[in-house]
Amino acid sequence: MSNQNAIRLDSVSKSFDGFKALSEASFTARWGEVHALLGENGAGKSSLMNIAAGLYAPETGSLFIDDNAVRLNGPLDAAAQGIGMVHQHFKLVKPFTVAENILLGLRNLQTGTYRQRLAQVAEQITAMAASLGFSIEPHARVDQLSVAEQQRVEILKVLLAGARILILDEPTAVLTDAEAENLLTTVQNFAHQEGAAVILVTHKMNDVMRYADQVTVMRTGSTVASLKPQTVSVGELVKLTVGDAPTPPQIPASRAAGEVKLAVRDLRSSSDAPVLRGVNLELRSGEIYGIAGVGGNGQSELAGALMGLPEPVSGEMELVGEGDLNSLSAARRRELGIACIPADRYSSALAAPLSISDNFAMGDVHSGRYGPFWFLRRKRIEADTAAAVAEFDVQGVRSLQQKAALLSGGNAQKLVIAREFARIPQLVIVHSPSRGLDVRATLAVHERLRSARDAGAAVLLISEDLDEVMALADRIGVMSAGRIIGEFAQPADRQAIGQAMVNHV
């Protein structure tokens, strides 16, 4: 590895609406290394990397590339300096093909007809993917790709644009163990063998310990440490990141669950290319039923169908005592205490342009608690929102009138959970609840789900993070090829679950 600095940020400060997101923060990554960036939600990691990628301008401080001072006037300037960022929430045009998406970001392909340029891009995609050790179909539509494949498209997009400094924001948040290992091995080789610089923004300590050459820790907008991960233990690294984090509680080996609350029978997609192919499961009161599986096997479609999203399905989703779940209106679902926490909090759970208080209140407006639609009681809304924000530790809230879009991903998730748990839930349907959350926030979310179960709620947990499923679930179902192909009672054999996830045809 080279000792030369690839990118350096010195004494960088940045404020938003009077809130200081960064305070004299510094960061240095060298050529030929994988450099991890750790910190709690709202610690300033994304803000700092958005400055490095030209999306934000710093108020104070300096940016250096190859130890030369530079000033970025936008992402195009950053790309010209060889900087490429892959964001946690992908920035792809879903109806476009892989080649069409990548062509949008290439400024050096301006000659020839559109078809000729598209053909050139397709060749470049195939060659670059092969050099990185994976394959991708250039003419596949992005909305037909798995999450892992979409992430590869994002990486190819910035690398083909000339990136030599690659910033990955929470790259393994929605990947399985095997997918994450493949990705991190690929980018590690890119750094070590190609001499590039890779910056890994992550909350996963194991990823840091296994793949990073250097780690920088941020807290409350400032840099608190930079060291080699091999010189500290995981516990010491956690303490540097979040202080004295609480110890995760151990789940009981077995529990006596109550009566069946939700029965799913032969649930199938009503489409020419069915994803759900006969899902059968029973969820009982007082238990957490976890669904594990490799991404793209129908988990998202199952969650969407159960949450009332417009998924064309056949079969039964019986809420015992109420009939077909699909026949219930949104208002009736709320009255019955059905809480829904989708995986994509911004597109499916929050109205990002609306205020924090409006997003919180929308879960209860139909009940009349806040008065009629045409004359809402704003003081009551703000009082309830303020209490929920405090109880659920939603940070980064300068005003209840600020847009929900300004919250970090983790704090946006806390807001969703605060709204869904405003009433005591009887049925909780949750998909990837800790995606992008730091250690402390993840433990808090997990404790909420356990508390709901202990109070008698039926909790359906869908997660591609096997550690999360193992830590929370009382029973575990493995989903493959659009159906549940095996169930495991706790204490479960992780290896057997892993084999079921990848070996079933």
DSSP 107-126: SS--SS-HHHHHHHHHHHHH
Specify whether 408 is located in the same domain as 442. no
**Cβ distance 498 to 467 under 8 Å?**
no
Specify whether 12 is located in the same domain as 44. yes
Choice among 152-156, 242-246, 266-270, 496-500 with the minimum mean pLDDT = 242-246
505 vs 86 pLDDT, higher one: 86
Distance CA(210)–CA(240), nearest Å, equals 18
Q: For the residues 298-327, what does the mean pLDDT come to? A: 88
Specify whether 410 is located in the same domain as 439. no
In this predicted structure, the answer to whether residue 132 has a pLDDT above a threshold of 80 is yes
Domain stops at, among 365, 394, 422: 422
Specify whether 313 is located in the same domain as 220. no
| Residue/partner pairs of 17-21 with CB below 8 Å, 24 or more apart | 17/398, 17/399, 17/402, 17/406, 18/398, 19/396, 19/398, 20/221, 21/47, 21/221
Per-residue model confidence (pLDDT) at position 356: 94
**Residue 383: which H helix or E strand, with range?**
helix 378-391
Distance CA(39)–CA(304), nearest Å, equals 31
Specify whether 37 is located in the same domain as 180. yes
Q: What CATH number should be reported for the domain holding residue 266?
A: 3.40.50.300
Is 229 inside a domain boundary?
Answer: yes
Q: Name the band, by pLDDT with cuts 50, 70 and 90, for residue 251.
A: low
Specify whether 300 is located in the same domain as 356. no
Per-residue model confidence (pLDDT) at position 21: 85
Specify whether 494 is located in the same domain as 455. yes
**What average pLDDT does the chain have?**
87
For residue range 421-457, what is the model confidence (pLDDT) as tens digits? Answer: 988 899 999 998 887 677 777 888 899 999 999 999 9
In this predicted structure, the answer to whether residue 107 has a pLDDT above a threshold of 80 is no
Per-residue model confidence (pLDDT) at position 273: 64
In this predicted structure, the answer to whether residue 171 has a pLDDT above a threshold of 60 is yes
Is 252 inside a domain boundary?
Answer: no
Domain stops at, among 422, 451, 481: 422
In this predicted structure, the answer to whether residue 232 has a pLDDT above a threshold of 60 is yes
In this predicted structure, the answer to whether residue 401 has a pLDDT above a threshold of 70 is yes
Is 132 inside a domain boundary?
Answer: yes
330 vs 103 pLDDT, higher one: 103
Per-residue model confidence (pLDDT) at position 61: 94
Count of CA atoms in the C-beta half-sphere (13 A) of 51:
29
In this predicted structure, the answer to whether residue 243 has a pLDDT above a threshold of 70 is no
Within a 10 A sphere around the Cβ of 164, how many other Cβ atoms? Answer: 20
Residue type, 342: P
For residue range 136-151, what is the model confidence (pLDDT) as tens digits? Answer: 899 999 988 887 788 8
Distance CA(19)–CA(9), nearest Å, equals 20
Q: How many domains does the chain have?
A: 3
Distance CA(138)–CA(154), nearest Å, equals 13
Per-residue model confidence (pLDDT) at position 242: 67
Q: For the residues 27-38, what does the mean pLDDT come to? A: 96
Q: For the residues 177-202, what does the mean pLDDT come to? A: 89
User: Rounded to a whole number, what is the distance in angstroms from the first to the last CA of the chain?
Assistant: 43
Q: For the residues 396-406, what does the mean pLDDT come to? A: 90
Q: Over pLDDT 70: what percentage of the chain?
A: 92
In this predicted structure, the answer to whether residue 340 has a pLDDT above a threshold of 90 is yes
Domain stops at, among 359, 394, 422: 422
Distance CA(65)–CA(63), nearest Å, equals 7
Per-residue model confidence (pLDDT) at position 173: 66
In this predicted structure, the answer to whether residue 505 has a pLDDT above a threshold of 50 is no
Specify whether 134 is located in the same domain as 16. yes
Is 251 inside a domain boundary?
Answer: no
Q: Name the band, by pLDDT with cuts 50, 70 and 90, for residue 504.
A: very low
Specify whether 191 is located in the same domain as 330. no
Specify whether 475 is located in the same domain as 391. no
Q: What is the 8-class DSSP label of residue 248? A: P
Q: Which domain holds residue 418?
A: 347-422
Specify whether 416 is located in the same domain as 442. no
Residue type, 153: V
